[in-house]
Structure 1
Amino acid sequence: MSDPLPDSALDRIFRTARSFNHYTDRPVGEDQLHAIWELMKWGPTSANQLPARLVWCVSDEAKAKLAAACSDTNQAKVRAAPVSVIIGMDVDFHETLPELFPHVDAKAWFDGNTELRTASAARNSTLQGAYFIIAARALGLDTGPMSGFDQGAVDKAFFADQPSVRSNFISTLGYGDPATLHERLPRPGFGRFNTIA
């Protein structure tokens, strides 16, 4: 893995990619949702925890249910997007570690320590949410990640039968409408937010 990706790939994933609030009418198929997962699942998490639990809201009913738990500014975005995704996190992720990280008894690291599991689930499911965005962009799709929602209401509506799962953030997904974009916001150079020690 020594050769860098070409500029066209780096542009699509990072430099020219944008977050979208509005999408075209072009549909997103279930096969594309599977393809996103099949890429993002390979992104590294600590001890291969994979705590993210995704709910892909495709039906109008599911999107309306999610929108009802969103802030006023996000409700229309969630309803209108081809797909809206809940990136959740399973605080009991450690139960799958014997399968996902079998060469060490990693489950024992987390047994009886809810505080540690919650912090680790939040950190690593956020990582997986970033992999979701990168995978979607790599496959030619656009996203609109957001955090303006009532976490308790989302958890009650979508994870009531999974008490160890909590929502982390949500995102829309589709083919972004470039006509609706605002001017790109600035990003600082290396020297401002970085320190080499």
Structure 2
Amino acid sequence: MSALTGEALELARAHAQAVVRDLRATKTRLDDPSIDLILREARSHYAWQDRDVPEALLRTLYEITATGPTSMNCCPARFIFVRSEAGKDRLAKSLKAKNIDKMKAAPVTAIIAYDPEFWRELPYLFSHEDRRPHFEGKPEHSEATAFRNSTLQGAYFMIAARALGLDVGAMSGFSNAIVDEEFFAENGWKSNFLCNLGYADETALFQKLPRFTFEQVCSFL
């Protein structure tokens, strides 16, 4: 994909700026109940209702997630939505025993992964200039960039899911090596973390755990 130039570039920039101005004029911030839904009162869930999550909703979830910012618009995250019994059995090979039932009870478990060679797609994703030389032949830099930005995208994914009325339960109690061998042997992607997805059974919740105060972890310079 070639970069826009001249009048086409100016028109695209003007449109982008107008969209942001119009949005801010319409809604300057989320109301408190909306913030509660996605963060303040949201919880990680471990038990699930027997309710299907439609494919159309998962597609919407991805479309929202994909709009979140990443460095150089590199978008390294890759998502596999594990819904079938066969897929869950494959994924169970990687899990610690205490997490298998949690995963199998969830309508969907997303494998949030990343492509270490994301930089090959930069001519499409970041068409302003060719940034591939920043990564080509530099596997450690590519790996760090992919991991960091896929983690960001995973966080966007969870917040977007909550905004759409879904519940989430992220999991790290699994073997990345087994997931990578089982699901990504052919394409070289790497797993970051897992996230159960669906409609929660709130009766399994316990009290909310404490968080640090501003004074404990923040400062001004």
Is TM more than 0.5 here?
A: yes
Distance 1:82 1:105 in 2: 41
> Helix, strand or coil: the match of 1:125?
helix
The CA deviation at 1:105 is 1.0
2:194 aligns with: 170
Distance 2:142 2:32 in 1: 39
TM superposition outliers: structure 1 runs of 4+ over 4 Å:
none
Correspondent of 1:160 among 164, 175, 185: 185
1:192 aligns with 2:216: yes
The CA deviation at 1:160 is 1.2
Unaligned runs of 5+ residues in structure 2 are 1-23
- What is the count of residue pairs matched by the alignment? 196
Correspondent of 1:26 among 41, 46, 51: 51
1:14 aligns with 2:43: no
Unaligned runs of 5+ residues in structure 1 are none
Distance 1:92 1:183 in 2: 42
| Greater gyration radius | 2
1:61 aligns with: 86
Distance 2:206 2:92 in 1: 23
2:4 aligns with: none
TM-score, with structure 1 as normaliser: 0.97
The CA deviation at 1:170 is 0.4
The one-letter amino acid paired with 2:194 is: I
Map of 1:89-104 to 2, 5 A cutoff? 89-104=114-129
1:144 aligns with 2:169: yes
Percentage of matched positions with identical amino acids: 45
> Helix, strand or coil: the match of 1:145?
strand
Distance 1:68 1:174 in 2: 22
Distance 1:196 1:61 in 2: 52
2:159 aligns with: 134
- What CA deviation, in whole Å up to 9, does each residue of 1:37-79 have, x standing for no partner? 0100000000001000111001011111111211111111111
The one-letter amino acid paired with 1:13 is: I
TM-score, with structure 2 as normaliser: 0.87
Distance 1:84 1:188 in 2: 30
Distance 1:196 1:162 in 2: 45
The CA deviation at 1:187 is 1.3
Correspondent of 1:109 among 125, 129, 134: 134
The CA deviation at 1:32 is 1.0
Aligned CA-pair RMSD: 0.9
Distance 2:106 2:85 in 1: 10
Correspondent of 1:49 among 74, 77, 80: 74
